[in-house]
Amino acid sequence: MSYIAFFLTSDVKKFLIRLWKFCKRLILALVILQLIYIILLKWVNPPITLTQLSSLLEGNGLKRDYVGSEKISPNAGLAVIASEDQLFADHNGFDWKSIQKAIEKNQKKKNRIVGASTISQQTAKNVFLWQQRSWLRKGMEVYFTFMIEWIWGKERILEVYLNVSEMGRGIFGIEAAARHYFKKPAAQLTRTEAAMIASSLPNPIKYTVKPRSRYVAVRYPWVLQQMNNLEGDPDIQKIITGKKE
């Protein structure tokens, strides 16, 4: 019996060693593949995201039309920066002060969750991950945020954000939103129209642009005011227009 047990143990060890080597090769291959994918997306638009796929499977449809930054009104970029992440031009992907404030608020009111995601974090989540909150997703979000900040840069991050973000039930991207709500291409969006769309982004299914929800009606004038305050910033102008001052 001891002789058989010895060989069984030996076989198990060999199997575990082979399994470990296979796992290491698999992990290395996955790391290389995702890095290649991130690099490709610097120039190529995402074929589909998990959020878009979920919209299809849930019967909400999928309206989208990816367009380059030259076909997006600077008003749209300025509006989402004013609404979602006013320090976008200055941070490295994370607004640490806002994150700390959100943590403190969540500790005081544990039945409510306050977020502090930057445009970079939202882009990482929208392109590579899923929407449901979890520590696993947040950890992966940190990794992908660092990677796109390093590889893509601010202008590409904003362009992708404007193309993949959900802006209504089954409506993804600024081009589809502009045509659905205002019957015009994204290049022709006015400041007010862009501010309305940006105001819906915290929850575009609940905070509707048309019919205009109370939240959007109250928020978009504030977004317009913030746009006025931020548009003179040369760093923001470079990002939204692609031109140096």
Cis previous bond, 47, omega within 30: no
Confidence band (pLDDT; 50, 70, 90) for 113? very low
What lies within 8 Å, CB to CB, of 192 at 6+ separation is 220, 224
Tokens of 212: 């205009």
CA distance 6 to 160: 58
Write out pLDDT tens, residues 126-180: 999 998 888 888 999 999 999 999 999 999 999 999 999 999 999 999 999 999 9
CA distance 47 to 44: 9
CA distance 220 to 197: 8
Residue tagged 């954000």 (tokens)? 161
CA distance 230 to 243: 16
Write out pLDDT tens, residues 11-62: 777 888 888 888 989 999 998 999 999 999 999 999 999 999 999 999 999 9
